[in-house]
C-alpha cells in the first residue's frame, strides 16, 4: 500500500458496522478513535461514546473539544442502512447526523471521507406500489443523496465514497453482519427461492469488504481530500444469471443440491404472480415477498456504475473472475456460519 508520511488521528463513525469493522485493520498505522454508539467494536483502539443524531455528537462539551483538538481526519461510515426503519429515523442519522459530523470536522479543521453509496445514481427505482413491503429503499437513497449535497456545500475538504453492495472478505468471507445479498444467497442455498423477479441480464454490482476498506484507506494514505470515488465492480459486475450459476456451483461444492430459481420479469410478477399467488398469502409472507420486490427494484434495468478505484494508488480494478470467487467464498462462509455445512475446521 502507498504510504503518505504523516500518521493521522482519525475519528471513525460506524466503527462497529460492516464497513467500519473491515476498515480498522487497514488503518492500523494511524491513531484511530472509534465513535461508538450502542455496540462497541472489539478492536483494541480508543473509543469515545457519542450519538450523531444529537447536537455536539451527544458528547460532553469538554470531550467534544478535546476530540476536535486531536482529530485531523474524519471517516463517516455511520448510517441507517436498514430499508425498513422509516423516513424520519433514516433522515435523523443519515442527514442530520451528517450535518453534525460536518460541523465537528469544521470545528476540528479536519478533512472528511463521507461513505455514501453508488445507488444514489438509481433515481428511477421507485416502484409504483410497495404493496405490503416494510422496506422502502427510497428513504435510504434520498437521505444519502441529500447528505452528499450537505457534504458538497459544507466547505469542509471532503471526499464522497460510493461503494456498491458490500459482501464478505474476498479471502475468508467474513463480515460483521450478513447483508441483503446474503439473505438472497441463503434462500438459494435452502431452495426457498423458486423465482427471482429480475432479468437474467440485470447486474448486481458488489464489492468485497476488504477491497472497499483498502480503497478508503488508500484515500487517507494518499492525502486525497476531494472528489467522488466509485468503489464498484463497474463493467466487471456479474449478471444475475452469472450470480445464480456461481451460487448453484458453490452449493454443489458444499454438498447442497440446489435448484436454480427461475427468472421472472418484474412486470409479469405485478400482472400475474402477485395478484394470483401472493395476495391470498398471510400478511407476513406477503410482506416478505414485497420486501424482496422493493429491494430487487434496485437492480432492475441497471446501468453499469462507473468504477474509479483503480485511480486510488495501490487499489487495482476487480475482475469478474475475482468477483465470482469472492461470491463463492462469501456463500460458503454463510453456509458454515449458519451450520448448513460443517466448518472447515470440523471437516479437517
Q: By CB under 6 A, how many residues form the interface with ligand NAP? A: 26
Residue 52 CB, nearest approach to ligand NAP (Å): 4
Q: Residue from 29, 39, 46, 342 that binds ligand NAP (CB under 6 A)?
A: 39
Nearer to ligand NAP, 4 or 54 (CB): 54
261/12 Cα distance (integer angstroms) = 40
Query: Under the criterion CB under 6 A, does residue 19 sit at the interface with ligand NAP?
Result: yes
> Looking at 10, 16, 138, 156, which residue binds ligand NAP (CB under 6 A)?
16
Rounded to a whole number of angstroms, the minimum distance from the CB of residue 121 to ligand NAP is: 12
Shortest gap between Cβ of 155 and ligand NAP (angstroms)?
Answer: 21
C-alpha cell at 109: 479543521
Which span (72-80, 186-194, 218-226, 274-282) binds ligand NAP, by CB under 6 A? 72-80
Q: How far apart are CA 26 and CA 22, in angstroms?
A: 8
Stretch of residues binding ligand NAP (CB under 6 A), selected from 10-18, 148-156, 251-259, 292-300: 10-18
Closest CA to 114 of 16, 223, 227: 227
Pattern 106-145, ligand NAP, x by CB under 6 A: ---------x-x----------------------------
The torsion of the CA quartet 279, 282, 288, 290, rounded to 10 degrees, works out to 20
| Contact with ligand NAP (CB under 6 A) among 43, 67, 81, 189 | 81
> Roughly what angle, to the nearest 10 degrees, separates helices 61-70 and 98-108?
60
Tally of CB atoms within 10 A around 253: 12
Identify the residue among 51, 199, 202, 291 touching ligand NAP (CB under 6 A).
51
Instruction: Spell out the residues 6+ positions from residue 161 whose beta carbon is closer than 8 angstroms to its own.
Output: 113, 114, 115, 116, 215, 216, 219, 229, 231
Helices and strands, number each (H, E), in the chain: 12, 13
Instruction: Tell me the C-alpha to C-alpha distance, in Å, between residue 322 and each of 171, 342, 345.
Output: 10, 25, 25
Is 88 among the residues that bind ligand NAP (CB under 6 A)?
A: no
Q: Which of 83, 76, 72 is nearest to 115 (CA)?
A: 76
What's the min distance (Å) between Cβ of 236 and ligand NAP?
A: 17
Site residues for ligand NAP per CB under 6 A: 13-20, 37-39, 51-53, 77-79, 81, 93, 115, 117, 163, 165-166, 177, 179
Amino acid at each position: 500500500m502507498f504510504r503518505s508520511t504523516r500518521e493521522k488521528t482519525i475519528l471513525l463513525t460506524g466503527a462497529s458496522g460492516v464497513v467500519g469493522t473491515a476498515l480498522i485493520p487497514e488503518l492500523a498505522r494511524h491513531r484511530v478513535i472509534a465513535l461508538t454508539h450502542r455496540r462497541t467494536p472489539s478492536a483494541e483502539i480508543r473509543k469515545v461514546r457519542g450519538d450523531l443524531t444529537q447536537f455536539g455528537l451527544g458528547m460532553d462539551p469538554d470531550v467534544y473539544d478535546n476530540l476536535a483538538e486531536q482529530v485531523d481526519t474524519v471517516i463517516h461510515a455511520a448510517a441507517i442502512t436498514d430499508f425498513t426503519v422509516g423516513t424520519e429515523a433514516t433522515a435523523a442519522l443519515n442527514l442530520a447526523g451528517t450535518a453534525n459530523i460536518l460541523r465537528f470536522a469544521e470545528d476540528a479543521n479536519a478533512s472528511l471521507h463521507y461513505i455514501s453509496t453508488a445507488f444514489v445514481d438509481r433515481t428511477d427505482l421507485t416502484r409504483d406500489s410497495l404493496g405490503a413491503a416494510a422496506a422502502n429503499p427510497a428513504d435510504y437513497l434520498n437521505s444519502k443523496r441529500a447528505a452528499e449535497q450537505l457534504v458538497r456545500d459544507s466547505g469542509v475538504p471532503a471526499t464522497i465514497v460510493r461503494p456498491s453492495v458490500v459482501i464478505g472478505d474476498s479471502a475468508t468471507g467474513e463480515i460483521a453482519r450478513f447483508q441483503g445479498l446474503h439473505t438472497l444467497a441463503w434462500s438459494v442455498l435452502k431452495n426457498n427461492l423458486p423465482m427471482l423477479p429480475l432479468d437474467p441480464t440485470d447486474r448486481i454490482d458488489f464489492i468485497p469488504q476488504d477491497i472497499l476498506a483498502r480503497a478508503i484507506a488508500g484515500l487517507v494514505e494518499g492525502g486525497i481530500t476531494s472528489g467522488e470515488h466509485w468503489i464498484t465492480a463497474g463493467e466487471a459486475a456479474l449478471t444475475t444469471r452469472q450470480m445464480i450459476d456461481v451460487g448453484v456451483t458453490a452449493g454443489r461444492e458444499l454438498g447442497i443440491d440446489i435448484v436454480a430459481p427461475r427468472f421472472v420479469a418484474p412486470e409479469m410478477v405485478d400482472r400475474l404472480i402477485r395478484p394470483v399467488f401472493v395476495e391470498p398469502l398471510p400478511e407476513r409472507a406477503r410482506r416478505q415477498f414485497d420486501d424482496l420486490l422493493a429491494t430487487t427494484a434496485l437492480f432492475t434495468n441497471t446501468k453499469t456504475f462507473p468504477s474509479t478505484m483503480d485511480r486510488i494508488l495501490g487499489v487495482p480494478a476487480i475482475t469478474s473472475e475475482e468477483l465470482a470467487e469472492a461470491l463463492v467464498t462469501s456463500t460458503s462462509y454463510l453456509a458454515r456460519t449458519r451450520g448448513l455445512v460443517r466448518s472447515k475446521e470440523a471437516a479437517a
